Amino acid sequence: MSCRIREIKKKLDDFAADHSNFQLDVRREKLHVVARGVREETYSFVREEQVIGREKDRLTNLKRMFRLFPGMVGLGKMTLAQLIFNDEKVQNHFELKIWVCVSDAFEMKKVLQQIINSADHKSPGDLQMDQKQKQLRSILDGERYLLVLDDVWNEDREKWLRLNDLLLSGKEGSRNMVTTRSKMVAEIIRTRAKAYHLGILDEDDVRFMP
């Protein structure tokens, strides 16, 4: 029995030595889970006169329209997307403007239906996936579109790639914007979109908030 204990102790000592030699850093960290409560569905309209402190952000992002807005709740990601969506230059530039609030589970068939509906095209809800993707491609074909996907939680890279393929039908100059609170989503989309990180409001802006 004592020999067995010595053998185990030697293995532990060897492991500790390897740990030191290779500079391995063993950490115990708490798992942080982002809570996903039921969120009220968002929409594209916003009153510009009621928005404080985001004019600079709006002007910056008008120049780069394929954007990812990551960040915690309360930073104003949706509000900034609304400002850009309703900007006069944007309204005149894009022939088709689509706003989709994703929020819950990212079901490709449902997202396609939401995009089709937002584009003012009626589609029976019982259509097969192949029929829906054909209808979406037909809607976007030859149109310079702006698509906003608000509050996205999909962390499945394959779904993003499939959706991206379906969005290639638009005319050159079409743009997509995504808002998300998920770091994983931000990392997945970052390969295709320039991320814009919102800062907190200046003290002067906060002072004027109701």
Here the CATH number for the domain that contains residue 195 is 3.40.50.300
Confirm whether 3 is domain-assigned. Answer: no
Residue type, 98: I
Domain that holds residue 101: 48-207
Confirm whether 36 is domain-assigned. Answer: no
DSSP state of 75: S
pLDDT at 98 over 80: yes
Q: What is the pLDDT of residues 30-78, one digit of tens each?
A: 333 334 444 555 544 444 444 444 455 444 444 444 456 555 554 566 7
> Whole-angstrom Cα distance, residue 139 to residue 135?
6
Phi, psi angle pair for 96, to nearest 5°:
-140, 125
Q: At 207, is the pLDDT very low, low, confident or very high (cuts 50, 70, 90)?
A: very low
Q: Which one is predicted more confidently, 161 or 100?
A: 100
Q: At 79, is the pLDDT very low, low, confident or very high (cuts 50, 70, 90)?
A: confident
Q: pTM of whole model > 0.75?
A: no
Residue type, 149: L
DSSP state of 177: E
Confirm whether 26 is domain-assigned. Answer: no
Confirm whether 25 is domain-assigned. Answer: no
Confirm whether 162 is domain-assigned. Answer: yes
Number of domains in the chain: 1
* Partners of 137 in the β-ladder: none
Confirm whether 33 is domain-assigned. Answer: no
Sign of CA dihedral 198, 199, 200, 205: negative
Confirm whether 165 is domain-assigned. Answer: yes
- Give me 156's structure tokens: 């499945």
Confirm whether 103 is domain-assigned. Answer: yes
* Average pLDDT for 122-145: 85
| Per-residue pLDDT, 95 | 92
